[in-house]
């Protein structure tokens, strides 16, 4: 399940009215492995384009990971609430 627009706003990746998500400022060390360089050569990408692609993938994985953490937190809050213990609610 991918995060919704509201989830991205709540996590701070989007502001209301933004069209594109932005990741928080984090230091990301990206480097190219031999297989990355081979892939870039096969598809006609420059090394900088490959580094940019890897950074985008890392940002997307962070967004999805944060979304899953928030969903797990919400689920825990629901299951631990007094209403979930009493079946008549």
Query: 23-73 pLDDT, tens per residue?
Result: 555 666 778 889 999 999 999 999 999 998 888 888 888 888 888 888 888
Which DSSP string do the residues of 19-49 spell out, in sequence order? SS-------------HHHHHHHHHTT--HHH
Q: Does residue 39 fall inside a structural domain?
A: yes
Q: Does residue 70 fall inside a structural domain?
A: yes
Q: Does residue 67 fall inside a structural domain?
A: yes
Q: Does residue 83 fall inside a structural domain?
A: yes
Give pLDDT, residue 50: 92
Q: Does residue 19 fall inside a structural domain?
A: no
Q: Does residue 18 fall inside a structural domain?
A: no
pTM: 0.54
Range of the domain at 87: 31-89
Q: Does residue 88 fall inside a structural domain?
A: yes
Number of domains in the chain: 1
Give pLDDT, residue 24: 56
- Chain-centroid distance of CA 13 in Å reads 9
More confident position, 74 or 60: 60
């Amino acid at each position: 399940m991918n995060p919704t627009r509201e989830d991205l706003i709540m996590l701070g990746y989007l502001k209301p009215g933004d069209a594109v998500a932005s990741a928080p400022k984090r230091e990301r060390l990206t480097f190219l492995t031999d297989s990355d360089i081979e892939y870039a050569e096969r598809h006609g990408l420059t090394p900088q384009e490959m580094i940019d692609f890897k950074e985008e993938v890392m940002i997307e994985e962070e967004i999805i990971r944060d979304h899953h953490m928030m969903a797990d937190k919400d689920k825990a809050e629901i299951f631990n609430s007094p209403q979930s213990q009493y079946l008549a609610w």
